[in-house]
């Protein structure tokens, strides 16, 4: 297993200007019910966890049409988990966003406490049982 490299300064600078991050900053803590309203509720959760050598385009495209994209990304950044697609971002994109986020936002202890089970399990809870 290889360790992810630290984002470079130009990547962090680009992340600070990324509209997805700006939306997350605006919408954080505005919608506690975002998990129940995500577009991914009706999609196979595997879509949001592509293997490292697989494209994440399908998941990112679904997130783009999601009404709670900002809240979802804000949550992922507050938790700091970098697996899977959240809020229309890939893990690599979020690594740079995380550096920018942590310089802009104080940690939310409630979000971290709420992290509880692994993030993948949390996404699975969004999928209605059949
Ligand atoms: S991962 Fe987040 S942004 Fe993407 S569809 Fe699900 S709730 Fe929406």
Domain ranges across the chain = 9-123
What is the predicted pLDDT for the residue at 62? 97
Listed residue (107, 111, 82) closest to 97, CA to CA: 82
Across 35-56, average pLDDT = 93
Mean pLDDT of the chain: 82
Band (pLDDT 50/70/90 cuts) for residue 128 is very low
Residue 116 has pLDDT above 70, yes or no: no
Q: With a cut of 70, say whether residue 3 has pLDDT above it.
A: no
- Please determine, for residue 118, whether its predicted confidence score (pLDDT) is greater than 70: no
If you measure from the C-alpha of residue 15 to the centroid of ligand 1, how many angstroms do you get, rounded to a whole number? 19
How many Å lie between the centroid of ligand 1 and the Cα of residue 66?
6
pLDDT tens, residue by residue, 50-108: 998 899 999 999 999 999 999 999 999 998 867 899 999 999 999 999 999 988 776 55
Task: Provide mean pLDDT across the span 105-128.
Answer: 50
Residues in Cβ contact with 80 at an 8 Å cutoff, skipping those fewer than 6 apart: 98
Distance 69 CA to ligand 1 centre (A): 6
Which ligand 1 atom sits nearest the alpha carbon of residue 39?
5
Ligand 1 atom index nearest CA of 59:
4
Query: Atom 1 in ligand 1: which residue has the minimum CA distance?
Result: 86
Q: What is the pLDDT of residue 2?
A: 58
Q: Is 129 helix (H, G, I), strand (E, B) or coil?
A: coil
Assign 30 a pLDDT band (cuts: 50, 70, 90): confident
Angle between helices 19-27 and 9-17 (to 10 degrees): 60
* Atom 4 (ligand 1) nearest CA: 63
């Amino acid at each position: 297993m290889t360790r992810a490299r630290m984002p470079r300064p130009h990547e962090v600078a680009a992340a600070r200007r990324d509209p997805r991050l700006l939306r997350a900053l605006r919408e954080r803590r505005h919608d506690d019910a975002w998990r129940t309203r995500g577009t991914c509720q009706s999609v196979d959760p595997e879509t949001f966890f592509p293997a490292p050598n697989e494209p994440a385009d399908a998941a990112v495209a679904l997130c783009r049409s999601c009404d709670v994209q900002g809240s979802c990304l804000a949550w992922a950044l507050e938790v700091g988990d970098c697996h899977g697609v959240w809020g229309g971002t890939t893990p690599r994109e979020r690594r740079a966003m995380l550096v920018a986020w942590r310089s802009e936002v104080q940690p939310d202890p409630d979000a971290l406490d709420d992290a509880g089970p692994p993030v993948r399990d949390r996404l699975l809870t969004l999928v209605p049982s059949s």
